[in-house]
């Protein structure tokens, strides 16, 4: 194997002052979770403010990099040569060896960028840059120095060990999951809500999810699709506990009692109420939906306002200002798109009215909801208590 060690660079979490270790620990935990499925034996360690992933023996390089690319909080993944022998003569040999192995075609321009954490090291960084540059030019005459726009920047860091690297593979950015509380995602089988969950998890928020299904109007297969989507999002967010709520009786009752053109909006208000109640029970501090202004009748600004009106918790709608194509682009990137477009029925579309209200008046909607007073309380309680939970990861 060419590389046995990787330096993990993080961006925003570097700025968290005294709480920095919490962020680093969360990042290490997420890295361990993500590389569990990669072939090979790895260790993840923090040493003098740096996180390293090391492989013991053979492993699958592509799989490892792909797994690390899914860990929020990682800005860069740097495959490197690492040596314990800090002697400068040895270092010269290592740098020559590094370039020899990593760049078979050496018609390249380069610059050496040395850093010493240990200021007692016999050479200054300037001296190291100069000497290592010279050694490389002697070993590989086809290489040229370019201090302004080098094709490769050869980074040499003298710490307790010496790190040599030049490749920096971009990570997803964001913050490690687990550093920003927990939120409840309303996860349907569509394109938008998995993307919404991904975006909030990227900011370090742990995710639980709730799915409303309506058997027999929606099938087992439709439910499995949502489990599959939660599992795909979990590749980034870490394990997701999915709450599956049977919504059939509530939907039928609304259908019986309320004007059909208000059905969707009233149904959405009950979804939010139930999601909020489960969120409170599970210590989630916010709700997440995949709503986007104007996408459908239930997502006009008036409809959103009417839906939002039943929530006391903050509702995060990270794709609110995105066009459909922008959401699709992210869905493709995170690999949920193919699953989302599988054609299974959705509980919202089953009882949908031909001409749903697009500008619901909250007073009118409340008045309609009064017709549900007799049974809805018990129905909601039954739905919440009877929910099924599945761990997705």
Regarding 289 and contact with Mg ion (CB under 5 A), the answer is no
In angstroms, give the least distance from the CB of 157 to ligand ATP: 45
Q: Please state, in angstroms and as integers, the Cα–Cα distance from residue 192 to each residue in 78, 100, 187, 317, 343, following that order.
A: 33, 47, 9, 10, 15
What distance in Å separates the CA atoms of residue 153 and residue 115, rounded to the nearest whole number? 13
Which CB sits closer to Mg ion, 178 or 190? 190
Q: Which residue is nearest to ligand ATP (CB)?
A: 190
DSSP of 74-123? EEEEEEEEEES---HHHHHHHHHHHHHHH-SS---EEEEEEEES-TTSSS
Q: What are phi and psi of 248, to 5 degrees?
A: -60, -50
Give the Cα separation of 43 and 62 in Å (integer).
Answer: 17
Binding range to ligand ATP, per CB under 6 A, among 34-42, 64-72, 190-198, 248-256: 190-198
Considering only CA atoms, which of 254, 233, 247, 203 is closest in space to residue 356?
254
Give the other-Cβ count within 10 Å of 102's Cβ.
19
Q: 3-state DSSP helix/strand/coil percent for the chain, to nearest 5?
A: 45, 20, 35
Among 5, 30, 114, 188, binds Mg ion (CB under 5 A): 188
Instruction: List binders of ligand ATP among 265-284 (CB under 6 A).
Output: 271
Among 212, 270, 322, 337, contact with ligand ATP (rule: CB under 6 A) = 212
Minimal distance, residue 298 CB to ligand ATP, in Å: 5
Among 177, 187, 357, 379, binds ligand ATP (CB under 6 A): 187
Minimum CB distance to ligand ATP smaller for 94 or for 291: 291
CA distance 75 to 72: 8
Minimal distance, residue 218 CB to ligand ATP, in Å: 8
Q: Which residues from 340-379 bind ligand ATP, rule CB under 6 A?
A: 347-348
- For ligand ATP, the binding residue among 81, 121, 211, 322 (CB under 6 A) is 211
Nearer to ligand ATP, 121 or 211 (CB): 211
Among positions 176, 190, 194, 238, the unique one binding Mg ion when judged by CB under 5 A:
190
Q: Does 194 bind Mg ion (CB under 5 A)?
A: no
Task: Enumerate binding residues for Mg ion (CB under 5 A).
Answer: 188, 190
């Amino acid at each position: 194997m060419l590389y046995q060690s990787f330096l993990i660079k993080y961006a925003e979490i570097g700025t968290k002052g005294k709480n920095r270790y919490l962020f680093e620990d969360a990042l290490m935990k997420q890295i361990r979770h993500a590389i569990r499925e990669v072939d090979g034996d790895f260790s993840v360690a923090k040493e003098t403010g740096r996180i390293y992933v090391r492989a013991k023996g053979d492993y699958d390089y592509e799989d490892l990099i792909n797994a690390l690319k899914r860990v929020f909080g990682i800005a860069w993944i740097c495959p490197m040569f690492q040596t314990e022998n800090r002697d400068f003569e040895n270092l010269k040999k290592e740098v020559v060896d590094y370039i020899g192995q990593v760049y078979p075609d050496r018609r390249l321009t380069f610059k050496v960028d040395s850093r010493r954490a240990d200021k007692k090291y016999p050479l200054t960084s300037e001296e190291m840059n100069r000497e290592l540059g010279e050694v490389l030019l002697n070993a590989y005459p086809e290489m040229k120095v370019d201090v302004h726009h080098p094709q490769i920047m050869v980074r040499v860091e003298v710490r307790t060990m010496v790190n040599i690297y030049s490749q920096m593979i971009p990570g997803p950015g964001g913050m490690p999951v687990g550093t920003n509380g927990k939120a409840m995602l309303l996860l349907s089988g569509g394109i938008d809500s998995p993307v919404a969950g991904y975006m909030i998890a990227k900011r370090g928020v742990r995710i639980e999810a709730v799915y409303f299904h309506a058997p027999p109007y929606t099938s087992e297969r439709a439910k499995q699709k949502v489990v599959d989507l939660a599992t795909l999002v979990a590749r980034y967010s870490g394990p997701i506990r999915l709450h599956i709520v049977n919504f059939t009786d509530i939907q039928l009752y609304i259908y019986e009692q309320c004007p059909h053109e208000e059905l969707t909006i009233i149904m959405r208000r009950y979804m939010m109420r139930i999601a909020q109640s489960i969120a409170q029970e599970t210590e989630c501090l916010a709700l997440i939906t995949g709503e986007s202004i104007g996408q459908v009748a239930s997502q006009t600004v008036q409809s959103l306002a009417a839906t939002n009106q039943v929530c006391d918790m903050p509702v995060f709608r990270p794709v609110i200002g995105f066009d459909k194509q922008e959401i699709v682009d992210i869905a493709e990137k995170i690999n949920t798109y193919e699953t989302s477009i599988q054609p299974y029925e959705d509980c919202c579309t089953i009882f949908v009215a031909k001409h749903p209200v697009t500008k619901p008046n909250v007073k009118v909607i409340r008045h309609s909801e009064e017709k549900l007073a007799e049974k809805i309380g018990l129905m909601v309680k039954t739905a919440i208590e009877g929910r099924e939970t599945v761990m997705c990861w």
